[in-house]
Structure 1
Amino acid sequence: MQIRVMHEGDLPTALRLSQQVKWPHRLEDWQQALKLGAGIVAEEAGQVIGTALGWRWGDDYATLGLVIVDPACQGRGIGKQLLLAVLENLPGYTVRLHATEAGRPLYEKLGFQVTGILQQHQCAALGQIAPEPLTAHPFLSQARPQDAAVLTALDQRAHGQSRPALIAMLLAEAERVVMLKDQHGLPQGFAALRRFGRGLAIGPVIAHDLQQAKVLVSGLLQPLAGEFVRIDSDPSLGLGDWLESQGLPVVDVPTVMIKGTPWIPAAGAPQAFGLMSQALG
């Protein structure tokens, strides 16, 4: 067995591995993930039997995900080798991941610490969603490519990650990206709707408070009756109860784990009410 760099040609096999463990990713989702980050594979007899990817978001923060080992090859330490190979490429970075119960013991051995949980909300066919009332004066508008720098700055203030390539990709490829502006036209937050997995996903959702987050998400949900929709949200921020009231129950609760120094937002900074994805953060 060898550990090597992941290439575009490995993605059809990576897709098969994710299907074996019942993850919803499409080939397009794998392509997007590799385009934004760097991957490692475990290969044996010419066959890819394991994957892991890492994403650098600026000079200090990174995420790690899509760690999969072929079920027929588990129990041989392959996952640990993949993780060590990814972490070797992230020296000095604070690294965040979202762990399954099965993966958590390994991550703890490698120095990751539990910092919270994440709730995965989804429904197979969304019902009718009523618009959330806007607070005094703000308004929603469609984000455009020229808004990339502003959205990147809001995104970074929320969790410390500098993700200009991700924001540019969303503005170019997402179904919709909406901004919430105040009475002076200054952006207060944004949210994106994109194709992912079994249907549509909303995230990131960046806002200064819970009501702003509800306005952004409801603005994206209203035209989606009958669609499969997913949102990954930190329950400590309070959006989860509202999502459940809109017909988006919790279907999974992975553990948030960090190796390094967790990001502490400045007073008055926006917060990440919804993630891009569990892998990308």
Structure 2
Amino acid sequence: MNMTVRNMTAGDVDTCFTLTQALKWPHRREDWQLAQQLGEGVVIEEHGKLIGSAILWRWGDKAATIGLVIVDNQQQGRGLGKQLMLALLEKVPGYNVRLHATEMGKGLYEKLGFVTCGSIRQHQTRALAAVPNVVIPTALQLRSAVEADHATLVALDQQAHGMLRPALYQHLIADNQTIVLENAQQQIQGFASLRRFGHGWAIGPVIAKELPVAQALITALMQGLGGEFIRIDTDGALPLAEWLTTLGLEQVDAPTIMVRGTPWTPQGMQAFGLMTQAMA
């Protein structure tokens, strides 16, 4: 068997994008490029042909996520997913590692030491039928995020799920629409980003202390998006999913949250919306 596992490079992105297209995943080439830039990927090649890939994102020195674990449809059942996972897990001994599993993948991840600790609700609409009104909680003000907010957003994000993601937030503040809600003392009570992803627009991360703050951020970002494709991924343990349904964003998937290590306990802030299911 002439098979090689090696680190992913930027030159692999086009082939990985093609693999996801074959599986009918929504990722654009630009989504793959960002994922590869922020993460550490591995690929499997056989006779020089790329037939599988996966990416690890190292968020600080204690937490990581794994996603975009893909094996060519014609190569299923050969244990390639396990090889990819083992290659990534070797990079982060002692880390708390999180992923979101399909039913098909759960068995493999359990054998590798991952345990179920919740589920994600993927909500989306092909065309937002009615743009909801924005209701700002009393005594809070809405504004755009600026570069000076970077360190604060990174710290609040880490409170929500234990991941330290400064490079991600540089990207979100500079290249996307990111907004914050703050009180009269200029203390940020929540923030969220709107960005291009997949078939249209994704809202996330959504980090907030309370549900009304998350709802205000989401509706503010929806302004002007009537008729557009919108997606939000939320933790099934939080009370956002039912409200999203009332806005016309139906649940279309419910992957399982799995962690190898100690699941994070939120410290004041909650992750009402994910960046992506892969990066969390």
Counterpart residue type for residue 64 of structure 2: A
Counterpart residue type for residue 169 of structure 1: H
Distance in structure 2 (CA, Å) of the matches to 1:227 and 1:136 = 30
> Where do 4+ consecutive residues of structure 1 move more than 6 Å?
none
Report the secondary structure of 1:52's partner residue: strand
Instruction: For residue 130 of structure 1, report the CA deviation from its aligned partner.
Output: 2.4
Q: In structure 1, what is the equivalent of residue 238 of structure 2?
A: 237
Identical aligned pairs, as a percentage?
54
Report the secondary structure of 1:92's partner residue: coil
Per the normalisation by structure 2, the TM-score is: 0.98
Distance in structure 2 (CA, Å) of the matches to 1:102 and 1:22 = 16
2:236 is the alignment partner of 1:223: no
* 8 Å Cα contact 2:137-2:216 kept in structure 1: no
* 8 Å Cα contact 2:43-2:84 kept in structure 1: yes
Q: In structure 2, what is the equivalent of residue 270 of structure 1?
A: 269
Distance in structure 1 (CA, Å) of the matches to 2:134 and 2:174 = 27
Instruction: For residue 132 of structure 1, report the CA deviation from its aligned partner.
Output: 3.5
Report the secondary structure of 2:82's partner residue: helix
2:162 is the alignment partner of 1:131: no
Gaps of 5+ in 1: none
RMSD over aligned Cα atoms: 0.8
Q: In structure 2, what is the equivalent of residue 259 of structure 1?
A: 260
* 8 Å Cα contact 1:98-1:278 kept in structure 2: yes
Report the secondary structure of 2:45's partner residue: strand
2:211 is the alignment partner of 1:202: no
Distance in structure 2 (CA, Å) of the matches to 1:82 and 1:22 = 21
* 8 Å Cα contact 1:141-1:180 kept in structure 2: yes
Instruction: For residue 91 of structure 1, report the CA deviation from its aligned partner.
Output: 1.0
Distance in structure 2 (CA, Å) of the matches to 1:217 and 1:134 = 11
Instruction: For residue 145 of structure 1, report the CA deviation from its aligned partner.
Output: 1.6
Per the normalisation by structure 1, the TM-score is: 0.97
Gaps of 5+ in 2: none
Q: In structure 2, what is the equivalent of residue 187 of structure 1?
A: 188
Counterpart residue type for residue 236 of structure 2: P
Which residue of the other structure, out of 16, 39, 42, is the alignment partner of 1:40? 42
1:149-194 residue CA offsets vs partner (Å, 9 max, x unmatched): 11111101111110000000111111x1000011222111100000
> How many pairs are equivalent?
278
